[in-house]
Amino acid sequence: MNIFAGTTASGSANISGSTANTRGSTTVTVHAVENANVEALRTAADLFKDKGGKVSQHAADARNKAKWGESWSGQAADAANHATDSAANQLDTAGFSSRTIGRVAGTHADLLSPTRTTVRTTAGLARTALMSVSADGEVSAQHLAFIPGVGGAAQSLAHTLTQILRGALKLARLLDIASGGTISTISSSVAPPRSDVEVDGAEGASVPNSPQSLPPVERIETPHGPVVTAGNVESADEVITLVSGVGSSSPEALARTEAWARATAADAAAQGKNVAVVAWHGYPAPGDLTSAISKDAAKVGAPALREHQRQLRERNPHAKLQVVGYSYGSVVVGEAAAKGSDGLVADEVRLWGSPGVHAEKAEDLQLDAKDGQGEVHNEHVPGDMIRLTTTPEFGVHGKDPAAPDFNAPPRGADGASEGSWSSYGWGKILDLYLMQRGETDAHSSYMWSPEVNVR
């Protein structure tokens, strides 16, 4: 969004078109401010606000239409509800972000307009007096300085005009940096809704209907709960283990995770991929949030999870092993991979809606990967209230894994945009925005969320 004449400084968003000097700072010229297209910026600001409002309204309409009531119920309906709500949240945050960009651009235009007037008036006065005006705002009296009785006054006037111009250019530069940085942060923090997901075919939302599409299922009972595997571990190219959290030992939760494992394996097969998916319930999951404050259950589950992953490697030494820690399940994963432990056999760990993993950074997790380079990714669905339990410095189960200095970016994320504190802060704002809009179920949506692609 260039509104000044000039080239764009590299390395950061820049709505003024200012140029960069050799030290990396930005310079705004007199010519650029004089010719700033403030009117176009105002038009763009109004467009962003208008379109953003319409997008958020579409999100509200989608939520209302997805209330099936008694006409449709069961696992498929629940999955579709979660998928629709998650997609609506994406639309809503995109609309809110668009409106915010519009407000920032509008404020920029409001402040830039009088600045442009000041520069035009001051530079015009200097030129009328036959003085020269440089690009950086310096006014020179030139030959007027040598005219007896006039030279002193001319030089004094030139100095005054220089101070006015340079003050205006400084304000324009600061506006450019502040507005450009804000818009860049907002733009890079909101992923566009996926176009390949429909309500009935959302990730993990579909429950295979035909017997031919169902993957083979292995069910092993443990003292704390079943370990259900969809697909063939011995021949799979990848094995995904899901470790669920609070309440996951209930019959309803067990049915949901088993259905998710079946659907995920079947969806992968439909894409020509050979993936086995394990819904692992081999630990006594906390039954409520009060119990989840303690890491006792995670300590009990950690050795069992390590043994489970070790056996998977023995059964298939060539498969990629991915472990997904969902909510309190991420605490279990963190305990299994804690410093001083035997480590967790995994090539990739993904943390969904994590309240913390009792580690200062991702590198503290001990992963036994095939290539020795285990990956750790954190994924957070907008509106998930789990962020209220942790901060970048501390939390019930440690610092927020979404914090930039934890070094666990979302899978496939652009490191430059996802690793900044400004993006992290904007994510917090989006959470609060959705919460005040009435979002209370985002934390339950990960298995069906369009933002989260498990493969």
Q: Is the dihedral of CA 202, 208, 212, 217 positive or negative?
A: positive
For the stretch 82-134, pLDDT in tens is 777 777 888 888 899 999 999 999 999 999 999 999 999 999 999 999 999 99
Residue 13's pLDDT band, with cuts at 50, 70 and 90, is very low
Of the two residues 313 and 75, the one the predictor is more confident about is: 313
For the stretch 141-156, pLDDT in tens is 988 878 887 788 989 9
Residue 265 CA from chain centroid, whole number = 26
Residue 345's pLDDT band, with cuts at 50, 70 and 90, is very high
Contact 336, 305 (CB under 8 A): yes
Facing residues of 325 across strands? 243, 351
pLDDT value at 8 more than 50: no
Q: Where are the domains of the chain?
A: 19-189, 207-448
- Torsion on CA atoms 214, 223, 303, 329, rounded to nearest 10: 60
Taking alpha carbons only, the member of 189, 188, 13 closest to residue 108 is 13
For the stretch 45-74, pLDDT in tens is 999 999 999 999 988 888 787 777 667 767
Query: What average pLDDT does the segment 430-446 reach?
Result: 84
Q: Using alpha carbons only, how large is the chain's radius of gyration in Å? A: 29
Note the pLDDT of residue 236: 95
What values do phi and psi take at 254, rounded to 5? -60, -40
Q: What number of other Cβ atoms are within 10 A of residue 374's Cβ?
A: 23
Distance CA 231, CA 210 (A): 16
| CATH T-level assignment (fold) for domain 19-189 | Ferritin (1.20.1260)
Note the pLDDT of residue 435: 85
Task: Quickly tell me which residue has 């075919």 as its tokens.
Answer: 201
Contact 62, 88 (CB under 8 A): yes
Q: Which CATH architecture has domain 207-448?
A: 3-Layer(aba) Sandwich (3.40)
Facing residues of 279 across strands? 228, 242
Q: What number of other Cβ atoms are within 10 A of residue 13's Cβ?
A: 19
For the stretch 172-226, pLDDT in tens is 999 888 898 888 878 766 554 433 323 233 333 344 444 445 678 899 998 888 9
For the stretch 371-411, pLDDT in tens is 999 999 999 888 888 888 889 998 889 999 999 999 999 88
Note the pLDDT of residue 138: 95
Lowest-pLDDT range of 16-30, 57-71, 293-307, 392-406? 16-30
Lowest-pLDDT range of 216-220, 346-350, 361-365? 216-220
What is the residue-averaged pLDDT of the chain?
A: 83
Query: What average pLDDT does the segment 428-449 reach?
Result: 83
As a three-state string, the secondary structure of 209-277 is CCHHHCCCEEEEECCCCEEEEECCHHHCCEEEEEECCCCCCCHHHHHHHHHHHHHHHHHHHHCCCCEEE
Query: What average pLDDT does the segment 274-289 reach?
Result: 92
